[in-house]
Structure 1
């Protein structure tokens, strides 16, 4: 068998597994149109139609299904052999591409990367910070980190923390001029700094918890941003009251540059999870990255 046909058979198997040219192309790093062209050439060489195509999906014909059933064991054996070969190296190597939201990037991943880099110098970690929701398979990521409600379906997940508290903060000058809110409804008489959710596009509704009771509300304000760092900066500049991650405000609270308000109403955000597509043979570089992220995680 010539090399071109062998390569195209591997591509054919990837398309059948993905169920679409687009998803297969994302995993292989090529366009859907290029895959469609290659499959037409393969079908022409073999003299049989292998795939049924629609505008939304692709599925094997009867002949294609028989071919895929024959190819699958061979591909599994080759994949397992390559994974074993890579695992036998003295140190795992390669690239691990991870998407995460900003607070997890700074609060969870970065503190664990120094030791990881020293132990695995041949692994490159590409950390893409994006507060929006991301399809990790379609976008070519090995793993993602998001809070529990935002996890993608059908993923293997690992908890990384117990959740973090929210802090509502403002500058001393602002509070001296506007007064200190004592209960959440007092915020209706204040300027608040609002956050626009990246994926939904809506304004985040502030949440308050006390005595087992949870309340959410829209707050007034003349400032909106989609950058969580700008919330703290706006509070420091005296624009009003910001709702931020507790660890994000900690240095400013310690120095007195910001003052916390409504502390006994501060809610706990859901836990962060690292998640990845489940499969039997994880690349060694991804496996040790997952282990490193779990090391400091709560049990």
Structure 2
């Protein structure tokens, strides 16, 4: 296969990944017609159609999707090696993309990684907050942060936090005219702020445990959110009870803005792990991130 054919494969991967000839052209710094010509030449060479063109963009055909799945690991490996060569300098540089959710972002990633930005001005951090369990390789993240029991088995996983407790809290004025629950089932008569998880497609059931016996309760409530900060706000303002990591509410508990209930039922949650495919570890900037997050 000629070098021109390899160039055509690289163009195909970017078009398929971006689902756009226009964005692929911008990626390579060439005209859209040049990208189209390259794809046409590759398809003629291979004798198959790789992309379906529409008015809204482009998507791989069945054959094209299979080719892309086989090529992408090699292509990304080349990208990583070239990037690593460019980063062979005293101070790490480049962009590191991490997928996580707000609790880990606020309590672990930002406190530990923000200091690096001052020391390494050529380092860029992109922290994407979301509750869905995504394929970090397909979405082109360098790493993800999730609870230990949510990490895929084919990933390298590094613990970055201890286990922690989930607690149920409410404002003192919320309980002014309501009974304090003594059993998780008592929550059925309370107003609870719920969380919807995209991966599960439904509202998260509050999890409890006592003497080794787990219990899940789908609690009622007038409010459903897709991120947790709003749940805490609802509790602080006295609208509802909240189910939250203990470290998030500890200051509010200390000053009396919130009250813990059901203390005999709090479960321990597996700590957070940073996870990533092995080839990402070659980048100096990524190695810096790993060491900064490593649990001491």
Structure 1 stretches of 5 or more lacking a match?
A: 16-20
> SS in structure 2 opposite 1:165?
strand
The 3 A distance-change label for structure 1 pair 37 and 129 is farther
Large movers: runs of 4+ above 6 Å = 33-37, 75-79
**CA distance 1:25–1:95, change in 2 (3 Å):** farther
CA distance in 2, matches of 1:37, 1:92: 38
Indicate which of 53, 56, 59 corresponds to 2:62: 56
- Tell me the equivalent position of 2:42: 42
| 2:222 equivalent in structure 1 | 222
TM-score of the aligned structures, taking structure 2 as reference length: 0.78
Where does residue 181 of structure 1 map in the other structure? Answer: 181
1:277–1:202 Cα change, 3 Å: same
Instruction: Give per-residue Cα distances to partners, 1:70-107, cap 9 Å, x unaligned.
Output: xx8xx989975x45633531111111111110000001
C-alpha contact 2:84 2:284 (8 A) present in aligned 1: no
Aligned to 2:138: 138
Going from structure 1 to structure 2, the CA distance change for 1:168 and 1:84 (only over 3 Å counts) comes to: closer
Contact 1:92–1:122, Cα closer than 8 Å, also in 2: yes
RMSD: 3.5
8 Å CA contact 1:83–1:281 kept in 2: the answer is: no
Is 2:128 the partner of 1:128? yes
Superposed, 1:164-203 pairs within 5 Å as 164-203=164-203
Residue aligned with 2:90, SS: coil
| 1:157 CA drift (Å) | 1.8
The answer to whether the Cα contact below 8 Å between 2:80 and 2:280 also exists between their aligned partners in 1 is no
Counterpart residue number, 2:231: 231
Q: SS of the residue aligned with 2:251?
A: helix
In structure 2, list runs of 5 or more residues that go unmatched. Answer: 26-31, 51-59
Q: Are the structure 2 counterparts of residues 212 and 11 from structure 1 closer, same or farther at C-alpha, using a change threshold of 3 Å? A: same
CA contact (8 A) 2:280 2:286 kept: no
Q: Determine the structure 2 residue equivalent to 1:204.
A: 204
> In the aligned structure 2, how far is the partner of 1:78 from the partner of 1:170?
50
Q: How many residues align?
A: 273
Q: Distance in 2 between matches of 1:78 and 1:224?
A: 42
Kindly state the Cα deviation for residue 36 of structure 1 after the two structures are TM-superposed: 8.2
Change in Cα spacing, 1:41 to 1:23, as seen in structure 2 (3 Å) is: same
Q: In structure 2, the residue corresponding to 1:279 is in which secondary structure?
A: helix
More moved, 34-43 vs 260-269:
34-43
More moved, 92-101 vs 190-199:
190-199
Does the 8 A contact of 2:144 with 2:275 survive in 1?
yes
DSSP-derived class of the 2:92 partner: coil
Is the Cα contact below 8 Å between 2:5 and 2:42 reproduced in 1? yes
Whole-Å separation in 2 of the counterparts to 1:235 and 1:79: 45
